[in-house]
Structure 1
Amino acid sequence: MDGVVNIVPRTSRAQNLFEEQVGNELAVSQQYVAIAVWFDQRDLPRLASYFYRHSLKKRNDAMRIVQYMLDNNIEVEIPGVPAVRNTFEDPSELVALALEKERAVTDEVTALSQTLRQDADYLGEEFMRWFLAEQVEQVSEMTTVLDVMDRAQGNMFDMEDYLERDPVGDDRNESAAPRVAGGKL
């Protein structure tokens, strides 16, 4: 049986939750593309770039989970993602939605971590530590962006200037981050 890899069939709640989390991260990534495009269409390049970068971060997070599953010979099925929201009335709605998505991801990552602990999956629990820390940063960062947007009182050029002066989230050290399946984009 040369060349045959033994893939472990799904046998635990945690394995199912890993797969769901891949879908959750990819769904947020797609939503961030829609947000970025909305800003791009309105000639707000720094806001667009900010959300394009966040889309890639979420995609990479999904692929970190895929890599973990591959490394542990866990069967991987990539789920589809639901449709994203594309219509907004006010720019602050987009950032508020992004904050809502980050809070939801935090809840999902926390639930996955709790399940791993309950199932005595210590390797999985250790793997998830980076994601927990990452979500604290993501919620804090998105809260800051929303606060600054609220203070800008609808003046998107002030928001653009702010992101030029203080590139929120660009200086984080990802040296401790898990590997990304297929390589980081």
Structure 2
Amino acid sequence: MKDIVRQKIGINVDVMDLLNEQIAKEAHSAAAYLAMASWCDHNGLVYSADFFYKQSNEEREHMLKIFKFINENGGTAYSPEVSNINHEFNSLQEIFETALDQEIQISKSIHNIVTKCRKVMDYGTENFLQWFIQEQMEEENQFRRILEMFDLMGTDGLALKLIDERIKHGE
């Protein structure tokens, strides 16, 4: 019976499996951003902490968007286990570098799913993923702009406080 149900879903089975892997990646990102927010809170960088709390919520929303898409199309979405979250950082700059690397990996994963969609002609899922492609481009750009501030302003106490303030205002 399980095989019959998998044949009648609205998305390709292999694509569904990749989407479930993406759910796990989004959940991991959400948890990683919580750890980053905690580090920022602990180090008196309250605006950066707020930024990462919001990032964590966004990643969870992305996870749920994919989760619901799978279920709404007759597939089975799986709630992921989250482990191996880093809580140790040396600086705010390191956190933002780590976050950018994480976003780049998420982008590559989504591009991989789109490539699979095209190979198996799963146009509905490919269309669904277009929103994620645009979102990832925006996310990567945001982190690159923040990292540029470190290059321009430095990483000492006053520069760090100014960067934290600019993050508050979304500059």
Tell me the TM-score normalised to structure 2 length: 0.89
Specify which structure has the higher proportion of helix. 2
Q: In 2, distance between residues paired with 1:62 and 1:92?
A: 26
Q: In 1, distance between residues paired with 2:81 and 2:74?
A: 22
Q: What's the counterpart of residue 157 of structure 1?
A: 161
Question: What is the 5 A alignment of 1:98-177?
Answer: 98-154=99-155, 155-164=159-168, 166-167=169-170
Aligned residues: 161
Q: In 2, distance between residues paired with 1:116 and 1:96?
A: 30
Superposed CA deviations along residues 37-61 of structure 1, whole A, max 9, x for unmatched, are 0000111110000011000000000
Deviation at 1:129, TM superposition (A): 0.4
Deviation at 1:80, TM superposition (A): 1.1
Q: In 2, distance between residues paired with 1:28 and 1:77?
A: 16
Q: Is the 8 A contact 1:28 1:58 kept in 2?
A: yes
Deviation at 1:149, TM superposition (A): 2.5
Q: 1:65 to 1:8 in 2, by over 3 A?
A: farther
Q: In 2, distance between residues paired with 1:47 and 1:8?
A: 46
Q: In 1, distance between residues paired with 2:160 and 2:45?
A: 8
Q: Is the 8 A contact 2:6 2:13 kept in 1?
A: no
Deviation at 1:82, TM superposition (A): 2.6
Q: What's the counterpart of residue 94 of structure 1?
A: 95
Q: In 1, distance between residues paired with 2:153 and 2:32?
A: 24
- Aligned alpha-carbon RMSD (Å): 1.6
Q: 1:8 to 1:139 in 2, by over 3 A?
A: farther
Q: What's the counterpart of residue 9 of structure 1?
A: 6
Gaps of 5+ in 1: 1-6, 169-185
SS at 1:74 equivalent: coil
Deviation at 1:86, TM superposition (A): 1.0
Query: Identity of aligned pairs, percent?
Result: 24
1:55 aligns with 2:56: yes
Q: In 2, distance between residues paired with 1:17 and 1:109?
A: 9
Gaps of 5+ in 2: none
Q: 1:69 to 1:99 in 2, by over 3 A?
A: same
